[in-house]
């Protein structure tokens, strides 16, 4: 599918983006290439491919994600973390008051 500059201007208006006059021809070529690629995808035979709603089923077999062990690995480092703070008070980050 080939897009002309008028169509690109219309698409840009609908998308609320600014496409400078000097870039209309290049943008038309890029979008035409994308639409041609989509047309190629439409030619792929997917008759024997089961529809999927997510990546959890493959070939009729449920895939389960492995659970990781719930272990604290980075605790008790308050001093190290607060060393990066611009200001700390009583073991916490001190931030300026923003609400009156």
The pLDDT value recorded for residue 57 is 54
51 alpha carbon, distance to own chain's centre: 23
Q: Structurally, how many domains does the chain consist of?
A: 1
Instruction: Point out the residues of the chain with pLDDT beneath 70.
Output: 52-64
Contact present, 64 and 55 (Cβ < 8 Å): no
3-state secondary structure of 78: helix
15 located within any domain: yes
36 located within any domain: yes
The pLDDT value recorded for residue 60 is 56
Beta-strand (E) ranges in 1-100?
57-58, 61-62, 88-89, 92-93
Is the entire prediction scored with pTM above 0.75? no
Structural domain containing residue 12: 5-42
The pLDDT value recorded for residue 63 is 64
34 located within any domain: yes
66 located within any domain: no
97 located within any domain: no
The pLDDT value recorded for residue 94 is 92
11 located within any domain: yes
22 located within any domain: yes
Residue 92 sits at φ, ψ, to 5 deg, of -130, 160
The pLDDT value recorded for residue 7 is 92
73 located within any domain: no
Contact present, 19 and 12 (Cβ < 8 Å): yes
The pLDDT value recorded for residue 21 is 93
The pLDDT value recorded for residue 61 is 61
């Amino acid at each position: 599918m080939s897009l002309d500059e008028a169509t690109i201007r219309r698409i840009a208006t609908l998308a609320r983006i600014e496409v400078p006059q000097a870039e209309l021809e290049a943008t038309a070529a890029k979008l035409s290439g994308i639409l041609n690629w989509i047309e190629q995808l439409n030619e792929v035979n997917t008759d024997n491919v089961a529809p999927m709603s997510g990546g959890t089923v493959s070939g009729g077999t449920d895939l389960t994600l492995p659970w990781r062990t719930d272990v604290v690995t980075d605790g008790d480092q308050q001093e190290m973390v607060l060393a990066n703070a611009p200001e700390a008070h009583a073991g916490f980050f001190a931030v300026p008051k923003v609400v009156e």
